[in-house]
Structure 1
Amino acid sequence: MPAAPIPRLSAAERWRLLLGEAAQTSLQTGASSSMQAMDRALAWLYGREGERKSEHGEAAETLERHGGSEASRLSVPEWINAIHELFPKETIERLERDAIERYGIDDVVTNIDVLERATPNAALLAAVLRTKHLMNPAVLQAARKLVAQVVQQLMEKLAKEVRSAFGGTRARGELAARGAASQFAARETLRRNLRHYDPQQRRLIVQRPLFYARTQRQLQRWQIILLVDQSASMTGSVIHSAITAACLWGLPGVKTHLVAFDTSLVDLSDEAHEPVETLMKVQLGGGTDIAKAVGYAAGLIEAPRRAIVVIVSDFYEGGNEYLLIDRVRGLTAQGSKVLGLAALDESANPDYDRALAARLVDAGAHVAAMTPGQLAGWLAEKMQ
């Protein structure tokens, strides 16, 4: 059955929805059933703005928008159904993201009816990882499908960046009769096929397309050990670390390890090529013992000068800072490379303990905030 058409609103009606019930008298808009339904759905979510508290207990700053009196009667499944019928896709994704990230309405992903209607996106994936321990088996099965859809989207994006970083460079002096579309040598193809130009039809017939050859990078066997902080604040980094490990898994000459840690640790290397399984096993929350994780990584290293240890964390160490610094210094002294990654999501917004990060740099580590694609490029550069 085709989806119902999205209601069309006038400019005044859109302002009325933005400002809420308090603007009704000033704007003097009508009260169509569609606008009432939209207002009710928006008020159910944003009408709770005044209920939020700051970290110190004071009421949070409220928006100008005020909710209608009927908003609280909507249940979560009813709200999801309503926004899917009333709003375009872009608005639905924003509403679902605000419900999870801004107001903490995690039951959006603990109800099977809601999960089946929800639009797969990174915010919903993060919420699933936070609440999967509360899900019954039927809901968990539906959540797994959602996780798989979002992971596939992220994999498709990152895999291209990884292939580009590790796939070699164009050899401009060498041409081949076959190649990928990205290797097409347009200028050389035109020049060498000019004799096939038909002046009557004013058309150039390309009988022999040419492509730039690529020189394959010859990699010695390297170890990449991803140590991922799985404390509650690192959800986005855990997601993208799992995706990155899966993309690195199949590269020739690379042995990938994936270790999640808080105050304890779990080695997920055997499942690193299956990011859905990896993410469903992660337990978010708890403290942070980076020194313990680095010590474990040191025990995995086979050839020190061909090993890269990547610490994905906010560097708020709950363990022994002096032990962490000493272990990082020991790794760099033996020729291993240590990268501290302060952010590993698509926007790479850094939020980390800069004082400890600076001490790690003094110990020989490199600390940066970068996207997964930038990380792949950095690794490829170090492994040449």
Structure 2
Amino acid sequence: MSRPLPDLDIADRWRLLLGEAGTGSLGAIGPQAFAMDRALAWLYGRDDGKDGPGGLAPEDRLDRHGGLGPSALSVPDWINEIHTLFPKETIERLERDAIERYGIDEVVTNPEVLARATPNVALLQAVLRTKHLMNPAVLAMARTLVAQVVRELMEKMARRVEQAFSGRRQPQRTSARGSASQFAARETLRRNLRHYDARSGRLVVREPRFRVDSRRVMEPWQLLILVDQSGSMLGSVIHAAVTAACLSGLPGIKTHLIAFDTEVVDLTGQSDDPVDLLMNVQLGGGTLIGKAVGYAADLIEVPRRAIVVVISDFYEGAEEHLLIGHVRALTAQGTTVLGLAALDERADPVYDRELAARLVDAGAHVGAMTPGQLAGWLSEKLG
């Protein structure tokens, strides 16, 4: 299941209901309720008393005074924020009101506005969260925007992967054979000093030496990346898709990309096209991590040369012992299991720590890594 929303105390619930009128007797509002009030005020605080787009009907109108000050949320910011603050049913109502009652259509109905938007990860997340609301024309424009953001992410990630996996030249290693460009003059001179002819003043080279470029030779490995696609993990889905695309191009690595909620979807065939992959991901629903790990276990060819990376907040929707059993069996056969609490640029460690501790006891490694850190970690394991 998705990460549970924090419970609000009774006082904060009344503050949300009363707005500015409740601050005198109830005191300051808590941070969670503050964020929720800001998101609601951004939408319903624009009510001008008119029916239809731009205003609610009188019977539906909320009396919100905006006592917390003006909000600087943009449309993408607001979309992303409500998806982290409210349950699914509330999100659907808020999005419907924004589009149908207030005419806020910058992201989901107006291709011209979308074309003027600044491509960034926040806008990409908003697009992926609302793509089911888009008409075909807007969806085509959104796909172009997604491609631009993904291309920028790919360029950054590709450099990190190259740095992590490229070997370093070791000049001290030489060979008796090589090309002219590899000729090691200093080593050749040192090895042939004993052949120096003092009478003629010449050095006879009998043992030429050439540099050997020592680059890491990758033995075949199997990398299985499992991504929780519940709504709270959207940032991880984006960066996992980009990471998998970069890793799939490395020699000696067979990369699998598997998305899961209550069902398991093998996206390996799309891993080299992260744009197409992201536009087809369905966010939300429950979470069955054990089911996904069991699916990955059946794909493993050589256990000691396989790594299973599980990207999730580890809020398991099924019996936890099933997941623990799969992980224990994998590590017992020599497979490396890595649990990642986050895979966006911030890698904020928000996850079920109790279940994570049980996974560690079963032999898994659990932590929070950025995409660059993951590439470095994999480089050490695969080298």
Question: Aligning the two structures, in what range does the TM-score lie when normalised by the shorter sequence?
Answer: 0.5 to 0.7
Identical counterparts, % of pairs: 60
When normalised by structure 2's length, the TM-score is 0.67
Letter in 1 for 2:108: T
| CA-CA distance at 1:101 after TM superposition | 3.1
Counterpart check, 1:98 vs 2:70: no
* Displacement after TM superposition at 1:174 (Å): 6.3
In the alignment, structure 1 residue 149 sits paired with structure 2 residue 160? no
1:338 aligns with 2:333: no
Deviation per residue, 1:192-241 (Å, 9 max, x gap): xxxxxxxxxxxxxxxxxxxx975211111100000000000000000000
Match of 2:107 in 1: 109
Equivalent runs, 1:15-164 vs 2, <5 Å:
95=74, 97-102=76-81, 107-111=105-109, 112-164=111-163
1:337–1:365 Cα contact (<8 Å) kept: yes
CA deviation map 1:10-42 (0-9, x unaligned): xxxxxxxxxxxxxxxxxxxxxxxxxxxxxxxxx
TM-score (normalised: structure 1): 0.67
Check if 1:271 corresponds to 2:270: yes
The 8 Å contact of residues 100 and 124 in structure 1, kept in 2 or not, is answered as no
Question: Which residue number in structure 1 is paired with residue 57 of structure 2?
Answer: none
Which structure's relative contact order is higher, taking Cα pairs within 8 Å and 6+ residues apart? 2
Q: Which runs of 5+ in 1 are unaligned?
A: 1-48, 77-92, 180-211
Deviation at 1:308, TM superposition (A): 0.3
CA contact (8 A) 1:100 1:123 kept: no
In structure 2, C-alpha distance between the alignment counterparts of 1:218 and 1:59, rounded to whole Å: 51
Equivalence for 1:45? none
Match of residue 320 from structure 1: 319
1:54–1:60 Cα contact (<8 Å) kept: no
Aligned to 2:98: none
Instruction: Work out whether residues 314 and 352 of structure 2, in 8 Å CA contact, stay in contact via their aligned partners in 1.
Output: yes
Q: Does structure 1 conserve the Cα–Cα contact (< 8 Å) formed by 2:42 and 2:73? A: no
Query: Relative to 1, partners in 2 of residues 1:152 and 1:262: Cα closer, same or farther, differing over 3 Å?
Result: same
Aligned counterpart, 2:238: 239
| Larger displacement relative to structure 2 (53-62 or 306-315) | 53-62
Deviates more, 1:236-245 or 1:165-174: 165-174
Structure 2 contact 220–253 (Cα < 8 Å) conserved: yes
- Report SS of the residue matched to 1:260: strand
Q: Look up the equivalent residue of 2:247 and give its one-letter code.
A: L
Is 1:307 paired with 2:306? yes
Letter in 1 for 2:77: D
Report what 1:173 is aligned to: 172
| 1:142-174: CA deviation from partner (whole Å, max 9, x where unpaired) | 010000000001000010000011111242536
Q: CA deviation at 1:59?
A: 9.0
Deviation at 1:102, TM superposition (A): 3.8
How many angstroms does 1:108 deviate by?
Answer: 3.5
Shift, 1:95, TM fit: 4.0
Counting only pairs closer than 5 Å after superposition, residues 250-289 of structure 1 correspond to structure 2 as: 250-289=249-288
**One-letter amino acid of the counterpart of residue 110, structure 1:** V
Q: How far is 1:258 from its partner?
A: 0.3
Question: Secondary structure of 1:226's match?
Answer: strand
Q: Distance in 2 between matches of 1:299 and 1:130?
A: 32
The offset of 1:367, in angstroms, is 0.3
Describe how 1:178-193 pairs up with structure 2 within 5 A: none
Find the residue that maps to 2:262 and give its secondary structure.
coil
1:61-120: CA deviations, max 9, x gaps? Answer: 669x999x98969x99xxxxxxxxxxxxxxxx9845534334678644212222111111
**C-alpha spacing 1:62/1:310, structure 2 compared with 1 (3 Å):** closer
Matched positions, count: 284
Distance 1:230 1:59 in 2: 24
* Alignment partner, residue 367 of structure 1: 366
**Rg larger in structure:** 2
Q: Could you tell me which runs of 5 or more consecutive residues in structure 2 were left unpaired when the two chains were aligned.
A: 1-18, 21-28, 55-71, 84-93, 96-104, 183-210
